[in-house]
């Protein structure tokens, strides 16, 4: 009898849980989210005309008052899954968003990066890319997770572009998956698994390198160009 396929053997040792620690990059510092960040976050949410739209695909927000945001941040900062960090770009010194590690599955070595909210002034910046990179590197390199997950509203084109830019591969869409703000949501799933992470990491490190940025702060080479050059 031909043996049935069972999948590859792997190290089944559970991975460590993430710790609430400060993560420092060249252009950004990630601080474990705390109630004291609420005022800066409120200000970040008010200073852009497009700030209201930045909440369109989130399960919460926009917040009607500073008090409402403070109450949310206080609760959000107290959870272990998701575990949230406040994002402080070095260039401004002001907290301008948050992001989390979530759906943490130590036994399966799987973890998700999610709840990403960046104020419009921080979106599509070096600091934004490095903030996501720091959490991915923590999960994959420091903690040894082999499956990195990104999921988002299937209609959220900017989120899908961001995930694919970082190196995530589209896996599929769960239809009628959630109800968010009284609207039905299809959820797109993407992942980086196993040996896919090192080339993603190396491309990100090359893009984030100071030599890749002109004096005005613009990147000399895009991530896609860098990734292509590493393959060729």
Residue 48: pLDDT over 90:
no
Residue 232: pLDDT over 70:
no
Closest CA to 206 of 225, 220, 226, 192: 226
C-beta of residue 18 within 8 angstroms of C-beta of residue 138: yes
Q: pLDDT tens digit string along 81-102? A: 999 999 999 999 999 999 999 9
CA dihedral 192, 212, 208, 126 (to 10 degrees): -110
C-beta of residue 100 within 8 angstroms of C-beta of residue 60: no
Q: pLDDT tens digit string along 123-148? A: 999 999 999 999 999 999 999 999 99
Residue 231: pLDDT over 90:
no
| Domains defined along the chain, listed by start | 23-231 (3.40.630.30)
Q: pLDDT tens digit string along 9-19? A: 999 999 999 99
DSSP state of 193: E
CA dist 6 and 158 (Å) reads 37
Angle at 35 between CA 33 and CA 41, to 5 degrees: 75
Closest CA to 194 of 218, 173, 169: 169
Mean pLDDT (the chain) is 96
C-beta of residue 188 within 8 angstroms of C-beta of residue 173: yes
- The lowest-confidence range among 29-33, 103-107, 212-216 is 212-216
Residue 165: pLDDT over 90:
yes
């Amino acid at each position: 009898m031909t043996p049935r396929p069972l999948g590859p053997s792997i190290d089944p040792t559970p991975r460590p849980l993430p710790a609430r620690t400060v993560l420092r990059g060249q252009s950004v510092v990630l601080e474990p989210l705390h109630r004291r960040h609420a005022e800066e976050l409120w200000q970040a949410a008010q200073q852009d005309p497009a700030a209201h739209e930045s909440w369109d695909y989130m399960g919460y927000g926009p917040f009607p008052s500073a008090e409402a945001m403070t109450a949310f941040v206080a609760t959000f900062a107290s959870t272990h899954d998701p575990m949230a960090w406040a994002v402080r770009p070095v260039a401004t010194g002001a907290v301008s968003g948050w992001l989390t590690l979530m759906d943490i599955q130590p036994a399966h070595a799987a973890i998700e990066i999610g709840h990403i909210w960046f104020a419009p002034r921080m979106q599509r910046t070096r600091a934004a890319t490095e903030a996501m990179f720091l959490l991915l590197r923590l999960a994959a390199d420091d903690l040894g997770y082999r499956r990195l997950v990104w999921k988002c509203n299937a209609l959220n084109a900017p989120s899908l572009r961001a995930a694919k830019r970082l190196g995530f591969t589209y896996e599929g869409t769960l239809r009628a998956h959630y109800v968010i703000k009284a609207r039905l949501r299809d959820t797109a799933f993407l992942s980086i698994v196993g040996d896919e992470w090192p080339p993603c990491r190396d491309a990100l490190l090359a893009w984030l390198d100071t030599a890749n940025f002109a004096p005005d702060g613009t990147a000399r080479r895009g991530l896609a160009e860098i990734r292509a050059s590493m393959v060729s």
